Structure 1
Amino acid sequence: MSEKNQQGKRAARDRLIQQREEARARDRRRRTLIVSTAVVGVLGLAAVIGVIAANTDGKGDKSKASGPAVAPSGATGKDALAIRVGADDAPSTLTIWEDFRCPVCAQFENAFRDTLHELEQDGQIKVDYHLATIIDGNMGGSGSLKAANAAACAQDAGKFSAYHDVLYRNQPQETEDTFGDNAELIKLAKKVDGLDTPGFRSCVEDGKHDSWVEKSNQAFRDGGFQGTPTVLLNGKSVFPKNGDEAISVANLKKWVAEANKGKKPGTATPTP
């Protein structure tokens, strides 16, 4: 084979490799668009992504629970649809609507987890978590529903906060319905001391709180929220609008301090 032919084949092979890499890069950009932000810890895209996430009629969700809505232990708020973490008498309330399959929710949690726990333990805020299942509706599957039920089962055991964090640390790709497998949810419970018990397993496998989760999801839809995560500090969105300051760890702490000025911190006690 002539050197000229060899060079031509190498050039063609190099072009093919480059084209494949460009295709992979385009695919990666498409997959990560919904979790991209301009600055680490700043969730400026959350409002945009939220609009996309909320524009669904739920037809893709084939998992419709039946039976009465059984609220988890200690659930609070209207219709007992909130799971509270932190002291009941904390001066400020952070309300968070989340979906365990939502990648932007994971981004928020992974960026602000330590800050939220610090503010909770210092008695500065209580966090009311509301669970939604919009990704099941968008992408199909049942992972949002089953993960939320498992989290409610963890609440029954007094371990919601720890298990909630484990789920977000181990969140699968949005297009993968890994959380739709109860065995996976039970396996992740092993990462929380004392959670993997026969009672927890039965609660997960029986879908004990499925109807409660769907009632929570309906409240999310009825509430007119743009998408997940929806995060409200004393009823006001923490995400920037019309030139507002961008959310960051420093700004969140500052906003809480301003809201709590002159108020006594709550008594930091674990969620029952």
Structure 2
Amino acid sequence: MSEKNREGKRSARERLAVEREKRKAADKRRRALIVGASIVCVLALATVVGVLAANAGKSGKSSASGPATAPSGAVGKDGLAIPVGQDTAKSTLTVWEDFRCPACQAFETAYRPTIRQLADAGQLKVEYHLVTLIDANLRGSGSLRAANAAACAQDVGRFGDYHDVLYQNQPKETQDTFADNDKLIELAGEVDGLNTPTFEKCVKDGTHDSWVQKSNAAFQSGGFSGTPTVLLDGKNIYADQTITPAKLKQMVEAANKS
């Protein structure tokens, strides 16, 4: 082999090695955004008991100290989950989320199309549990107020659409924009048929505040470390750094074939 040919092959190998390193770096960045982002929304080192009740919304009242009023159609233990999808689906995705949590938004952005596709096909049902982690970590009441408003939307069958609107309009983690009930009511205008006097009253009265607080207590007692926490049929899949929307789809489809 001529020296020229050897040099050419060596250069080609070097270029391939560079490309492989670039792909590895890109994969690492993707995992950091979608999976590793969950470290952003971690539990505070010390939980302040009663912080939810102490941080009422900027407008409207809070009934966080009253009896827990579950939204219409809530399921699961103590009625703390909001269901999406068909009851007959073989697989259940359990999602613990906080509307102020940027990692939850990253999860929604990446996985929503796949989850919707599987739910619409009757292969997957989703149970959403709403928590107030960021309120406790950074102080404020936006997590509580947004969760209550989402529960109010569930009362009239508009949870899914309003859930998406909240994430599409999520403020920066350090900005407690969702603490303003008027802002939450304004965003309801983006969902057909939601912005009604009944919804507005539910939001301002904090009808489901105590229910949200009870859901957050269940999250803490469950030993979960942060949001989003995502379980497929009881197994924590989001902690697996190899999980992708495509892999989730494969797992659900395999379960439905068995």
Specify the TM-score bucket, using the shorter chain as the normaliser: 0.7 to 0.9
Q: Which runs of 5+ in 1 are unaligned?
A: 1-36, 263-272
5 Å-filtered alignment, 1:1-272, equals: 38-39=29-30, 43-50=34-41, 52-58=42-48, 61=52, 62-63=54-55, 65-241=64-240, 246-262=242-258
Preserved CA contact (<8 Å) 2:34 2:110: no
Q: Secondary structure at the match of 2:43?
A: helix
- Alpha-carbon distance, 1:47 to partner: 4.9
Q: Secondary structure at the match of 1:191?
A: coil
Partner Cα separation in structure 2 for residue 212 and residue 74 of structure 1? 13
Q: Secondary structure at the match of 1:38?
A: helix
Who is 2:61 aligned against?
none
Partner Cα separation in structure 1 for residue 90 and residue 116 of structure 2? 15
- TM-score, normalised by the number of residues in structure 1: 0.77
- Alpha-carbon distance, 1:53 to partner: 3.3
Q: Percent identical across equivalent pairs?
A: 58
Partner Cα separation in structure 2 for residue 178 and residue 48 of structure 1? 22
CA RMSD of aligned residues (A): 1.8
Q: Which amino acid aligns with 1:133?
A: T
Preserved CA contact (<8 Å) 1:41 1:111: no
- TM-score, normalised by the number of residues in structure 2: 0.82
Q: Secondary structure at the match of 1:226?
A: coil
Rate the CA distance shift 1:216–1:106 in 2: closer, same or farther, 3 A.
same
Residues paired across the two proteins, number: 222
Q: Secondary structure at the match of 1:67?
A: coil
Preserved CA contact (<8 Å) 2:138 2:174: yes
